[in-house]
Structure 1
Amino acid sequence: MESITKNRQPPRVLRQIIERAYGPDQVPDGDDFAVELGDGYFNIAYVLTLRSGRRVVLKIAPPAHVTVLTCERGIMRNEVAALALIADLTDVPVPAVEHVDVTHELVDADWFVMPLIEGATLAALTDSAALTESAAAGLRRDLGALNRELNGIVGDRFGPLHMPGFGTWREAFASMMEGILRDGERAGVDLGVPYEAIRGELAAHLDVLDEVTEPRFVEWDLWPGNVMVLDGRIVALIDHERALYGDPLIEAGFTGVDLPDFGDPSDFMRGYGLEELTPAEQTRRRLYSAYVLVLMIVETAYRRYPDDGQYHWARGLLSGLMESGGR
């Protein structure tokens, strides 16, 4: 996906990055050692082939001059922190971080490198009909189980991993929602529903957020495009930049509970070990769905995507969600 947040670099700079991360003996000749990965929506990512022939992935944060959403400030450091936590505290497969640079000496942004994970994403395999329905369902169940293991990590405060955080989930989620709403207001984005209606919906249901008393590690962005599959099994989960301490029900795998356009969550939930939601959980889930839709609408103004398909799709879903009320 094309976006102004993608911080592309010339071969000269990419060679300097390789030298810093792996040493001068790994700097390749020629200009064909770097291939851009085009699936991401935010950071630029390259597959780099080292002189030894080994392939690694470089991720570079957006250029310093590009305005990002409030929730996206410093999120590459958040991803590095998430990868360390997952590797240290779980058996969930994730790439190893091989080098991190936050000096901004070679480029005007944070960057890090990790091994290339062979395979294809669950989204790509599903879209291309490369999986039988039985195999796809099994992988969705496996994803649910892995996600539950991630949620087993307990923090000491709510909010992003790389920030001070909040004492309650009510405060943390209210801050998240207000942040994206203010981003939208600054950019003059039409949500299709009044901004105050979103604020009112949240204010009316703050009490259900108080049921969440333990800060759990949540990925939030763990959709099938971030699940790497090889030989019929999940070999890695990628793109952990939006991880936070919060309510596991905010995970992407549950979004289809009230937004069927995001896919049937039944297999994921079965693997997770959660068959149905209580009325209070359903209300929390609706708030989280409203949040993700507002973010998807607002980000289109900041990313300047080449078409407005995502804007209109998410805007229609948000209007329908708000109209549905508590049904």
Structure 2
Amino acid sequence: MRRIRLRSGAQVVLKIAPPPDVEVMTYERGAMATELAALRLIREHTKVPVPVVDFADQSHEVCDADYFFMMYVGADNLNVIRDTLAETEINAYDEALGAITRELNTIPGSAFGPLAGPGESTWRAAFLRMVEELLGDGERRGVDLRHGYDVIREVVAAHASSLDEVTEPRFVEWDLWPGNCMVRDGQIVAILDHERAFYGDPLMEFGFTGSESSAYGNATFFIRGYGHRPFTTAERTRRRLYNLHLALIQIIETNFRAHTDTERYDCACERLRDTVALLGE
């Protein structure tokens, strides 16, 4: 991603996808096409503020990867300034994030899974495929989960029936955390980075992670802004499965991104261990 000043003096942001010879995780393939589709859906179906795309090119005629230009948002990154805010300000932003997320989740889908397809007729099938793709990535790279891969498969399978309650595919932003929020004068003025969006269970949104693990923060004000009632037993089980999925991503991506510091890997392994324990395994 690059910030560019044009001859006119206007500023834009250029985003370029990885070239085809760079190995990415399975769920990251076609990420830029997903982001463009997500931006279009958000603009068409909601009032959630997102940057306007000025130009997109997926032809690979100019460079060997997809790219697009979008408007530059002159505002602060919420995650960057979070430590400078009063607790009441943080709570207000979390509540606003909850309301924004709920609005995004009103966008309907025709099947579960990637925005561009192929989709699944059930959420159970789509989520199990997502987990299996992650495990396949980890096995291919020889990533140590500090759990056996088959143990993780067994844990997920043992609780998969909780997924069957989800019957309506809904737009899930998934990566809507403070680092993807731009704020100005106490308001969220833009949300960024939509390449991980899919159709699934709204309970999988990042804002709910803290409801089952304090390691991800306090979800109280997000849930208040979202307007979600107290979770049922099945919903709590699903949220724990989604935390397990998130921990797997955080562990395995450290290998794909060639991290030399093990802090993120170690923390993610702890979160996976804790989530497996919560699931009673």
TM-score exceeds 0.5: yes
Shift of 1:114: 0.4
* Corresponding residue for residue 140 of structure 2: 186
Question: Does residue 78 of structure 2 align to residue 122 of structure 1?
Answer: yes
Secondary structure of the structure 2 residue equivalent to 1:93: coil
Q: Report what 1:157 is aligned to.
A: 111
Q: Is contact 1:139-1:234 (8 Å) kept?
A: yes
Partner of 2:52: 96
Superposition deviation, residue 292 in structure 1? 0.5
Task: Give the Cα separation in 1 of the matches to 2:46 and 2:278.
Answer: 39
Question: Within 5 A, what are the aligned runs for 1:47-196?
Answer: 47-127=3-83, 129=84, 131-196=85-150
Residue 179 of structure 1 deviates from its aligned partner by 0.1
Question: What code does the residue aligned with 2:131 have?
Answer: M
Larger Rg: 1
Is 2:171 the partner of 1:207?
Answer: no
Match of 1:304 among 238, 258, 264: 258
User: 3-state SS of the aligned residue for 1:98?
Assistant: strand
User: For residue 28 of structure 1, what is the aligned residue in structure 2?
Assistant: none
Structure 2 gaps, min length 5: none
Residue 32 of structure 1 corresponds to none
Q: CA deviation at 1:323?
A: 2.2
Q: 1:276 Cα shift? A: 2.1
Counterpart AA for 1:272: Y
Displacement over 3 Å in runs of 4+: none
Contact 1:169-1:247 at 8 Å conserved across structures: yes
1:285: which partner in 2? 239
Aligned pairs, number: 281
- Aligned equivalents of 1:91 and 1:161: distance in 2? 19
Contact 2:114–2:197 (CA under 8 A) maintained in structure 1: yes
Q: Indicate the SS of the match to 1:208.
A: helix
Equivalent residues in 2 for 1:258-297 (5 A)? 258-297=212-251
Identity level (%): 51
CA separation in 2, counterparts of 1:169 and 1:272?
Answer: 22
Find the residue that maps to 1:92 and give its secondary structure: coil
Kept in 1, the 8 Å contact 2:54–2:70? The answer is yes
Pairwise CA distance, 1:212: 0.2
- 1:313 CA drift (Å): 0.9
Deviations 1:135-188 (A, max 9, x none): 111111011001000000111100010222111101100000000000000000
Alignment-mate amino acid for residue 42 of structure 2: I
Q: Which position in structure 2 is the counterpart of 1:31? A: none
Matched, 1:250 2:197: no
Which structure has more relative contact order (CA 8 Å, sep 6+)? It is 2
Q: Distance in 1 between matches of 2:280 and 2:187?
A: 38
- The TM-score, its normalising length taken from structure 1, stands at 0.84
The answer on whether the counterparts of 2:240 and 2:278 sit within 8 Å (CA) in structure 1 is no
Distance of 1:311 and 1:85 partners within structure 2? 34
